[in-house]
Homo-oligomer: A and B are copies of this chain.
Amino acid sequence: MAARTTLADVATRAGVSVSTASLAFSGAGPVSAATRDRVLSAAALLGYVGPDPRGRSLRSGRSGIVGVVLEDRVLEAFRDPIMIAFLDGIAAEVSPGGRALLLLADVGESPHVLSTAPMDAVILVSCSPATTASAETVIRRGMPIVVLGGSVPAELDDVPSVTLDDRAATATSARHLFALGHRDIAVVALPTDIARRPGPLTDERIAACTTAVTTERILGARDVFPDFTGEIATGSYVEEGVRTGHLLLADPSRRPTAIIAQSDLLAAGVIKAATELGLDVPGDLSVVGFDGVRVDHVIDHDLTTLVQPAAEEGRTAGRLVLEQLAGGDVESVAFTCEFHPGGTTAPPR
């Protein structure tokens, strides 16, 4: 590994000073076309690709990197298309500035990276108390933070965030079911704690819930149906919808007429479970989802759901980061879900 050629080498070769060479590359200052050409061709000759980011970032104080913190490991996090849409939105907003995304997945496993990784700012995606703890590290580093995804944990109240009207939105779909005549519903909930323990959705579990999104969506259902049963899933996966669906639908004598699933993947799973049990959706069972992810590959229904503008949320999170990096003051942004009445809800038999 030969010694890397540096800007100084290029400058010498071109017969100019280092600072001039620097300006020639950054294009920031006034450099005559002739000198720039000389510098650039000298660089080409020496195989110099451009200023070393290490020196540059030490000097400028900027790395051009935006960290994206995910609670889960990659494999789990990206099973839910909503995550991919978030990330895509962030990338779309941030990349044009020449910035790149540092993926910090499963941060609970190695919290150390948060204090050692070179970044200019951080976006916390769908965080729970587990990640908010490590978020303090980031704050101490003096870096801008934005929280993205669903509701914001109370601990991060003062951090700019991109949120969703989880409660109101869920209440909308609940009212839709109520208006259709449903009185006996069940909820398939997202995880309520970091351990992702499954189990019946009891008042105790609800009270102990540490995941803001889950709580809010439960409250939205409560706003319309004061009383309902439910099951807690271990994550937003189709097979968890199938599992919980079977639990809720197995006993015909205690079978709800409608199920509110807290994600589209869970809803798709519930519908599959219902079909397996010989139930017709929406004839025998109404199902609503949440997210507005397209699940038509999975089920042959047009799912009644709440569409969240995931890509737009991602972009907004990116924008809030950029604005903070530009020195601006930033306000949280709240998005609204749009109710999509599909073909999976109908009056109860």
Please report A residues at the B interface, Cβ cutoff 8 Å: 1-2, 4, 47, 49-51, 53-58, 61, 63-65, 67-68, 73-75, 78-79, 84-85, 87-88, 91-92, 95-96, 98-106, 109-110, 112-113, 115-118, 137, 140-142, 238-239, 268-269, 272, 297-298, 311
CB < 8 Å: which of B65, B104, B297 contacts A298? B297
Is there an interface contact between B116 and A118, defined as CB atoms closer than 8 Å? no
A87's closest neighbor in chain B, by CB? Answer: B74
A78-B84, A118-B65 known; A101+B102 contact, CB < 8 A: yes
Nearest CB on B from A122, distance (A): 12
Chain A binding surface SS class: mixed
Q: Considering the chains assembled together, what is the distance between the CA atoms of A74 and B50 in angstroms?
A: 27
- Besides A4-B142, A55-B58, A75-B85, 8 more A-B contacts (Cβ < 8 Å) are A54-B57, A56-B116, A57-B58, A67-B100, A74-B87, A98-B110, A98-B113, A101-B103
Is there an interface contact between B54 and A63, defined as CB atoms closer than 8 Å? yes
Nearest CB on B from A79, distance (A): 7
A101-B103, A102-B102 known; A297+B238 contact, CB < 8 A: yes
Q: Considering the chains assembled together, what is the distance between the CA atoms of A110 and B103 in angstroms?
A: 19
A85's closest neighbor in chain B, by CB? Answer: B75
**Chain B neighbourhood of A85, CB < 8 A:** 75
Q: Considering the chains assembled together, what is the distance between the CA atoms of A112 and B55 in angstroms?
A: 17
Is there an interface contact between B102 and A49, defined as CB atoms closer than 8 Å? no
A49-B140, A118-B118 known; A73+B58 contact, CB < 8 A: no
